[in-house]
Structure 1
Amino acid sequence: MHPNSAFRPRQDDLAELLVREIGFAAIFASTPDGPRVAHAPVVLSDDRATLQFHLARGNALTRHLSGASALAVVQGPDAYVSASWYTDADQVPTWNYVAIEMEGVARKLDGAELVAQLDTLSAAHEARIGAHPPWTRAKMNPALFSKMTGAIVGFEMRIAAWRPTIKLSQNKSADERERVIAGGRGERPWRARAVDATPWRR
């Protein structure tokens, strides 16, 4: 989480909304072999108390996650911000970004909980892409589905802490934010400053 409080969302539900909309996270944990990370689709519970995900059984994290403290990071949009976009020359480049960190202890899901997670994931994302008819596991051979679910391991992390960062130039004036937006769109806002600073070139 960025230390500047200006980059912490004021709306209590904004971090939750971003987790649900993005739906994909990096899962970090310490292991005897050192820190490890895995990347997985996630399901946030309705009460935002837990985050579920699954990993390939062969992933090194699966042997160490159950009962361990984990960190899940949902990464949103990000972009470079050129210092030349500001009217004040005494600035440095920076990076705007959106990131939601969630920390908690993970537990391994049983088979029925894993299948329920997969059903929830597919239903949500099939609806998002407007699939008609949506894919469901009922379309699969049950024996093959069971074999494939045997190759993954499901987890649920009880969220003990949320640490969102929404860094979108909120520490700048409204005018500077407009210039950053213009720069991000490729509108080259720095040209106006160059002309103003060197009127003899007109």
Structure 2
Amino acid sequence: MHPNSAFRPRQDDLAELLVREIGFAAVFAATPDGPRVAHAPVVLSDDRATLQFHLARGNALTRHLDGATALAVVQGPDAYVSASWYEAADQVPTWNYVAIEMEGVVSKLDDAALIAQLDTLSAAHEARVGANPPWTRDKMNPALFSKMTGAIIGFELRITAWRPTIKLSQNKSADERDRVIKGIEATGHGALAQLMRHLGDDKGQA
């Protein structure tokens, strides 16, 4: 988390919006084998209190997560910011980025909760795909589906701390930010440029 308070989102729902929109996280935890990270699609509960995910049984984190404190990080677009884009002198290069950290204790889910998680995930993303009709597990052989779900384990992280960083040059003047946006867009980072336009102004940030 960046220490500059300018990069904390003002709206309570902005971090939640980004987690739901991106929907993929890196989950970090300490293990007897050393620090480990896993990467997984995530489901944020309606009340923002829990984050669910699932991992392969053979993942290096899986056997250590139940009861452990973990950190889930959802990352958005990022890009290098050249100091040459600023009009002001004596500037240095930096990096603009979006990162939402969620910390909490993890618990293992039972089979029914795992399947419910998978149903929620597929329904949400099938809606984005726009398939008609959307894919559901009803299209699978039940025995095969059961075999495949047997190879994964579901988890739930009960969130005790949110630590979002939305670093979009909010500490710069409007003119300087506009130059950075144009530079970032010209270097092929259109998604970050759009976030800077829509989320990085004084109304959207602390």
TM-score (norm: length of structure 1) = 0.92
* Greater Rg over alpha carbons, structure: 1
Instruction: State the one-letter code of the partner of 1:110.
Output: D
Instruction: State the one-letter code of the partner of 2:16.
Output: E
Name the counterpart of 2:65.
Answer: 65
SS state of the match for residue 60, structure 1?
Answer: coil
CA distance, structure 2, for counterparts of residue 143 and residue 43 of structure 1 = 25
Give % identity: 88
* Runs of 4+ with deviation above 4 angstroms: none
Instruction: State the one-letter code of the partner of 2:110.
Output: D
Name the counterpart of 2:139.
Answer: 139
Instruction: State the one-letter code of the partner of 1:14.
Output: L
Name the counterpart of 1:91.
Answer: 91
Instruction: State the one-letter code of the partner of 1:63.
Output: R
Aligned-residue RMSD, C-alpha: 0.7
Q: Structure 1, unaligned stretches of length 5 or more?
A: 188-202
Name the counterpart of 2:178.
Answer: 178
Q: How far apart are residue 185 of structure 1 and its match?
A: 1.9
Query: What are the residue-to-residue correspondences of 1:22-37 with 2, within 5 Å?
Result: 22-37=22-37
1:68-97 Cα offsets, whole Å, 9 max, x none, are 000000000101000000011200000000
Name the counterpart of 1:105.
Answer: 105
TM-score (norm: length of structure 2) = 0.90
Q: Structure 2, unaligned stretches of length 5 or more?
A: 188-206
SS state of the match for residue 124, structure 1?
Answer: helix
CA distance, structure 1, for counterparts of residue 100 and residue 44 of structure 2 = 13
Query: What are the residue-to-residue correspondences of 1:37-52 with 2, within 5 Å?
Result: 37-52=37-52
1:22-70 Cα offsets, whole Å, 9 max, x none, are 0000000000000000000000000000000000110010100000000
CA distance, structure 1, for counterparts of residue 48 and residue 135 of structure 2 = 26
Instruction: State the one-letter code of the partner of 1:124.
Output: A
Instruction: State the one-letter code of the partner of 1:166.
Output: I
CA distance, structure 2, for counterparts of residue 71 and residue 164 of structure 1 = 12
Name the counterpart of 2:16.
Answer: 16
Number of residue pairs aligned between Structure 1 and Structure 2:
187
